[in-house]
Structure 1
Amino acid sequence: MDAYVKHDIQDNIATIEFFHPEQNSLPGNILAQLAETITNMGNHADVRVIILKSGGDRTFCAGASFKELMAINDAATGKVFFSGFANVINAMRKCPKFIIGRIQGKTVGGGVGIAASTDYCMATQFAAIKLSELNVGIGPFVVSPAIERKMGVSAMSQIAIDANTFYEASWAREKGLYATVYESIEAMDTAVAAFAKHLCTYNPEAMSEMKKKFWRGTDDWDDMLAERAAISGKLVLSDFTKETLKKFK
């Protein structure tokens, strides 16, 4: 199956789904489509709540596209590459509608940043998380502000430093990333649908104003995340990272 970003609107609920055959890793074009779709659904008059999900029943998101990462040969291209997740995070931050995250399985790197940028995140017991960037000689510079905002500096730095370890969904819930964790995808989907439906009964203006307050203090993120993308874009050109990527290949 080819990669895609698609959306559906039913009963004032917009469901946005992304997919990539390589464990839902996200290349630049899919990230751009995802950011645009989130923005469009946020501005859609018929939408009150957004559900964000990925296709398949295993990995939620394996992070950035490894193929594109290996193809970076200059700092400008590197900045553009790492700006992909920055643009998605900023689209989620600015979206005036609540975004419910639906995390069915493991999520890595940029995928953790996406989960952390949702306003309310629901997951299965299989939704372990890992920040693996340090393994290849870079760091989670772009996604760490969103993760730190949701989980705190201590938890974010722990998983960023311990880049080889998957942290269980129960740990992520304890640290505030997930609101609830379910034993199965079916149980989670039932809960997500019911929760989204209930949110639609609330005052849309009240929810929009609440979201602004939840994201207070992030007005500089457009510039900050762009600067962080440039740091990653520079580090990916280092001899250490290039040699490490060859080993992974």
Structure 2
Amino acid sequence: MTTDRQNGSLYTKIQNKIATIEFGHLASNSFPGQLLERLAKEFISVGKNNEVSVIILKSEGEKAFCAGASFDELVAITNLEDGKQFFSGFANVINAMRTCGKLIIGRVQGKTVGGGVGLSAACDYVLATENAAIKLSEFTIGIGPFVIEPAVTRKIGIAATSELTLDATSWKNAYWAKEKGLYARVFENINELDKEVEILSEKLASYNPAALSEMKKVLWKGTENWKDLLAERAAISGELVLSDFTKKALSKFKK
């Protein structure tokens, strides 16, 4: 069941040391700022919970995994401060995922755009369906995927990130994403996906939590400067979104 709340929904279920965090929004599971803020806080909170060994990140419904940031909020930005704050939303979530101390499994059931690709990249292990195509379309509206780029490049390398960013109007299919390292495995349908997510999360939850936590640190080594880096990137996007080019492009999309 998909949500109809304007600011979206966020639910966490904890069972057998596995925390499942599920987000949803009527507009293809996109993120208004308030929902991003709640998600960042949820990762931090669950990360501190000793009853949790592993986290599953998923979205509602059977269609899009995540359509990125809220288009309505993007259109409404009128000053630099609001711009930076808007783009800090995904920065804060990625940093929370990076530092929460728990391994995160991404369950990606459908298409993913922009910030949603960043969310997938910030997971430690991603399982997806054949429908989970990806696209970074930011260039088409005069901005770029600056905030999520470090997370995406860390996963798929600079060449694939470049290809994804510069070919801003094309979808890359799930097998392309797997070949580049964004997805670990791709399944034919959601039923198969969910079975494997369950099997993997149960295995991980049976391992020594201290070993999992130490491994998380090892996997994210070299990202210690991301708090500052992603804030700088949010400022770049916040400035670009105020440009005449972007304002014109957004007004076309709105029509």
How would you bin the TM-score normalised by the shorter chain? over 0.9
SS in structure 2 of the partner of residue 181 of structure 1: strand
Displacement of 1:192 = 0.1
Deviation at 1:61, TM superposition (A): 0.3
CA positional deviation for 1:69 = 0.2
Residue aligning to 1:150: 155
Are 1:81 and 2:81 an aligned pair?
Answer: no
Q: Distance in 1 between matches of 2:61 and 2:74?
A: 23
Quote the Cα distance in structure 2 between the aligned partners of 1:211 and 1:91. 13
3-state SS, counterpart of residue 152 of structure 1: helix
Between the aligned residues of both structures, percent identity stands at 58
Offset at residue 201 of structure 1 (A): 1.3
Equivalent AA in structure 1 for residue 66 of structure 2: C
1:45 and 1:214 mapped to 2: Cα distance? 21
Structure 2 residue aligned with 1:95: 100
Residue in structure 2 matching 1:219, options 220, 224, 240: 224
Distance 1:200 1:221 in 2: 28
Where does structure 1 differ by over 4 angstroms across 4 or more consecutive aligned residues?
A: none
Report how far residue 200 of structure 1 moved.
1.0
Matches within 5 A, 1:97-112: 97-112=102-117
Q: Which runs of 5+ in 2 are unaligned?
A: none
Which whole-Å CA distance do the structure 1 matches of 2:164 and 2:199 have between them?
Answer: 32
SS in 1 for 2:206: coil
Equivalents in 2 of 1:100, 1:42: separation in Å? Answer: 14
- CA deviations 1:38-94 (Å, max 9, x no partner) are 111111010001000000100000000000000000011000000000000000000
> How many pairs does the alignment contain?
249
Q: What does residue 165 of structure 1 align with? A: 170
1:195 positional shift: 0.4
- Normalised by the length of structure 2, the TM-score is 0.97
Structure 1 residue 240 corresponds to structure 2 residue 245: yes
Once the two structures are TM-superposed, the CA of residue 95 in structure 1 deviates from its matched residue by: 1.3
Q: Give the partner amino acid of 2:193.
A: M
Q: Please report the TM-score for the alignment, with normalisation by the length of structure 1.
A: 0.99
In the alignment, the residues of structure 1 paired with residue 143 and residue 17 of structure 2 have an alpha-carbon distance, to the nearest angstrom, of 41
Which residue of the partner structure matches residue 43 of structure 2? Answer: 38
- Aligned to 1:173, the other structure's residue is in SS state helix
Task: Identify which of 115, 129, 142 aligns with 2:134.
Answer: 129
Question: Is 1:140–2:145 an aligned residue pair?
Answer: yes
Query: Any residues of structure 2 matched to 1:205-216 within 5 Å, and which?
Result: 205-216=210-221
